[in-house]
């Protein structure tokens, strides 16, 4: 890494695994270790936190792990997943919990740089059924969920810019087409570029390489 003294801790779930797979391709010599309690020199340390579809459990678990690892790391990140957001999610409440968790940890561990991470997006429904729904003015599958993710992400971006915090923007990278334009659903909300996923949510091999390289470069630039 650009700074050989970096000790980085990353709390995540499955899309985090996708990012790490991309990092391994971009930086094969980087030490990547799964752990919840031990840091041994520079490297990228990580663990899965909490439960999918329950974002608050991820934040609570991340905070618990940081109570142990906080004095031992230089950089820390926690990423929620697309599956943590549905059409009924209180995006404001999730943002308040996310930002509140990092603010508490920043006060406890002022030497640690906490990097905010936007929530991943998914693709939206395509094909003949999508054409019919659009003709009838009905939302596409995935559209309402992405709207909640986007609301959370916009709050995160605004707060990070206002408060001078570091941010890694997974959602922006997922919605950015190879030509630099943005994938948008019919309402104008960013969505994952369809070719970036094989199942609508997790990253394809090519997208893992793209986002993993960007993740590695962002961490190296701190």
CATH classification of the domain holding 178: 3.40.50.1110
Q: Residue 74 has what DSSP assignment?
A: S
* Average pLDDT for 8-33: 96
- Percent of the chain exceeding pLDDT 70 equals 91
Between 132 and 212, where is the model more confident? 212
Closest Cα partner for 43 from 51, 35, 54, 55? 35
Tell me, rounded to whole angstroms, the distance of Cα 182 from its chain centroid.
Answer: 18
pLDDT value of position 2: 44
Closest Cα partner for 36 from 60, 9, 16, 57? 9
Enter the tokens of residue 80: 């929620």
pTM for the full predicted model: 0.92
Domain, as residue range, for 48: 7-220
Q: Give residue 175's pLDDT band: very low, low, confident or very high (50, 70, 90).
A: very high
SS3 label, residue 86: coil
Digit-coded pLDDT (tens) for 101-156: 999 999 999 999 999 999 999 999 565 565 555 655 667 677 999 999 999 999 99
Residue 2 lies in a domain: no
Residue 1 lies in a domain: no
Residue 118 lies in a domain: yes
SS3 label, residue 46: strand
Q: Give residue 39's pLDDT band: very low, low, confident or very high (50, 70, 90).
A: very high
* Average pLDDT for 147-176: 98
Domain count, the chain: 1
pLDDT value of position 139: 72
Digit-coded pLDDT (tens) for 83-113: 999 999 999 999 999 999 999 999 999 999 9
Using CA atoms, how far apart are residues 29 and 23, in angstroms rounded to an integer?
A: 10
- Percent of the chain exceeding pLDDT 90 equals 87
Res 1 pLDDT > 70: no
Residue 54 lies in a domain: yes
Planar angle of CA 109, 114, 118, nearest 5 degrees: 150
* Average pLDDT for 51-65: 98
């Amino acid at each position: 890494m650009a700074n050989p003294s970096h000790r980085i801790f990353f709390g995540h779930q499955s899309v985090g695994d996708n990012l790490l797979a991309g990092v391994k391709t971009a930086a094969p010599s980087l030490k990547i270790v799964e752990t919840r309690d031990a840091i041994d020199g520079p490297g990228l340390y990580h663990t899965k936190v909490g439960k999918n579809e329950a974002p608050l459990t991820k934040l609570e678990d991340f905070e618990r792990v940081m109570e142990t690892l906080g004095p031992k790391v230089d950089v820390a990140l926690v990423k929620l997943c697309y599956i943590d957001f549905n059409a009924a999610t209180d995006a404001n409440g999730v943002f308040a919990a996310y930002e509140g968790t990092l603010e508490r940890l920043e006060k406890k561990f002022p030497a640690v740089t906490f990097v905010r991470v936007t929530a991943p997006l998914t693709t939206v429904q395509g094909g003949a059924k999508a054409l019919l729904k659009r003709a009838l003015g009905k939302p596409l599958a995935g559209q309402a969920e992405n709207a909640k993710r986007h609301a959370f992400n916009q709050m995160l971006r605004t707060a990070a810019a206002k408060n001078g915090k570091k941010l890694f923007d997974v959602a922006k990278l997922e919605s950015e087409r190879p030509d630099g334009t943005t994938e948008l659903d019919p309402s104008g909300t960013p969505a994952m570029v369809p070719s970036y996923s094989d199942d609508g949510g997790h990253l394809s091999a090519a997208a893992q390489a793209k986002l993993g390289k960007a993740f590695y470069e962002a961490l190296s630039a701190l």
